[in-house]
Structure 1
Amino acid sequence: MSYPPDPNNPYGQQQQNPYGQQPQQPGYGYPQQQPQAGQQAYGFPQQQQQPQADPYGQQQQAYGYQQQPQAGYQGYGTDPYAGYAPQGQYANWGQRVGAYVIDGLIAGVVPFILYIIAAVAFAASVQPGTIDPTTGAYTPGTTSGGSAGLAVVFYLLAFVIGLGATLWLCHQEGTTGQTPGKKVMKIRLVRESDGQVVGFGAAFVRKIAHFLDGLVCYLGFLWPIWDAKSQTFADKVMNTVVITSN
């Protein structure tokens, strides 16, 4: 059914439906369009949000940014609290023995020579006792004061030099991680917790703690042969390790 043109229409034409169909006129109100397929009955049609291109070549998610897994801390692996992982391998027993022998020669050769001189001087100062063959009387021996005093001087000198050399080795080991022997064998003493040098005080206490290694048939000095971290008993007490170094 058609209607005559509306004389009040300024355009003189009927409005056309953009979809090519005549809108159905309800009894009251304005003409209503039927919702198209895929659109909701009420409100504006919802368009699917497309992911935006990332300027760095990565595609973003619909909402928020794509989370990338964080890399682990350098030197600690994925867990920052996993503890220190030595950069080099643990020093083997042969390297440790070689360093100990070299340091022993450096610190002990001069005192050893002085001890020998002191012993000779003391022996020369002692005059043995004699027995009178006719009467059988025994005359006790005597000690020369000059030679005995010289022996004491050499003993004290040997002790002072030996102690000074030991303290110097502890200083080198605590502040740099290496004594001359460790430098030759290319190994280093560090803290097990963070791989840093232990300091003079800890190095000196560790030197004293080596008496634990000799309590039971020197078992502690042999312990690095089969220990997973190549530690002596003193190392375990002081929480230190000896690792390879360039």
Structure 2
Amino acid sequence: MSDRQPPPHDGAAGGQQGPWQHNPSEPSPNPYGQQAPYGQSGIPSYPGSGQPDTAAYGQQQPAGMPPLANWGLRAASYVIDTIVILVPYLIVRFAVGGAAGALLGVVIGLVGTLGLSYMEGTTGQTPGRKAIGTRLLRESDGQVVGFGLAFGRRLLHILDAIPCYLGFLWPAWDDKKQTFADKLVHTVVIKP
């Protein structure tokens, strides 16, 4: 038998710690590569940040996050966005009539949904959100969500409608003012 023991396997040569490993005796590195605001966790501050408003968001609000939009503001922006799509749909649907009108109505609905998703994903605002003054942002870092996530969130609103539209009412009493779709994709609606 050899009295040579293999070095402990830690993934790095020569027994040194690799950059992907964390030494429990050292403080946890910030995943964003910057100092934690206000001496808190490694959550970056939101655009236009100031002191964190933990009263509006419970103890889970990231530092510098603007106040969350209440249910009434969210509902008003949703009504405006619905009207933006519904009016052209109804005009085409009944002006053309028949199967052609129904098909064009579906096309208008799809194009409207894709357009709203694009606006929401790139700027955080749809025409309704812009009129009311709210924005949709990622919960983790306060950035816009991108087209794919915005479109997926719109599809997930089906889950908000299934239990008697309870998911659409959920922001009225939820700490983070989120619908079920918001919770699944980790988004929040803010009132800057």
Q: TM-score, normalised by structure 2?
A: 0.69
Total equivalences in the alignment: 142
Which of 77, 93, 102 matches 2:38?
77
Partner secondary structure for residue 205 of structure 1: helix
State the match for 1:146 in structure 2. Answer: none
Q: CA RMSD in A?
A: 1.8
Query: Which stretches of structure 1, 4 residues or longer, exceed 4 Å deviation after superposition?
Result: none
For 1:73 and 1:96, the matched residues in 2 are separated by 33
Query: Structure 1 residues 96 and 238 mapped into 2: Cα distance closer, same or farther (>3 Å)?
Result: same
2:180 is the alignment partner of 1:239: no
Contact 1:90 1:243 in 2 (8 A): yes
2:83 is the alignment partner of 1:105: yes
2:182 is the alignment partner of 1:212: no
Which of 222, 226, 239 matches 2:169?
222
For 1:86 and 1:199, the matched residues in 2 are separated by 22
Amino acid at match of 1:192: E
Q: Where does 1:49-198 land on structure 2 (aligned, <5 Å)? A: 73=35, 76-82=37-43, 84-117=62-95, 121=97, 151-198=98-145
For 1:91 and 1:153, the matched residues in 2 are separated by 40
Amino acid at match of 1:199: G
For 2:80 and 2:138, the matched residues in 1 are separated by 23
Q: Tell which has more relative contact order, 1 or 2 (C-alpha 8 A, sep 6+).
A: 2
For 1:73 and 1:90, the matched residues in 2 are separated by 25
Contact 2:43 2:141 in 1 (8 A): no
Which structure: larger Rg? 1
Gaps of 5+ in 2: 1-33, 45-61
Question: How much does 1:73 deviate?
Answer: 4.3
Q: Where does 1:9-88 land on structure 2 (aligned, <5 Å)? A: 73=35, 76-82=37-43, 84-88=62-66
Q: TM-score, normalised by structure 1?
A: 0.54
Contact 2:138 2:145 in 1 (8 A): yes
Gaps of 5+ in 1: 1-71, 122-150
Partner secondary structure for residue 178 of structure 2: coil
Paired-residue identity, %: 50
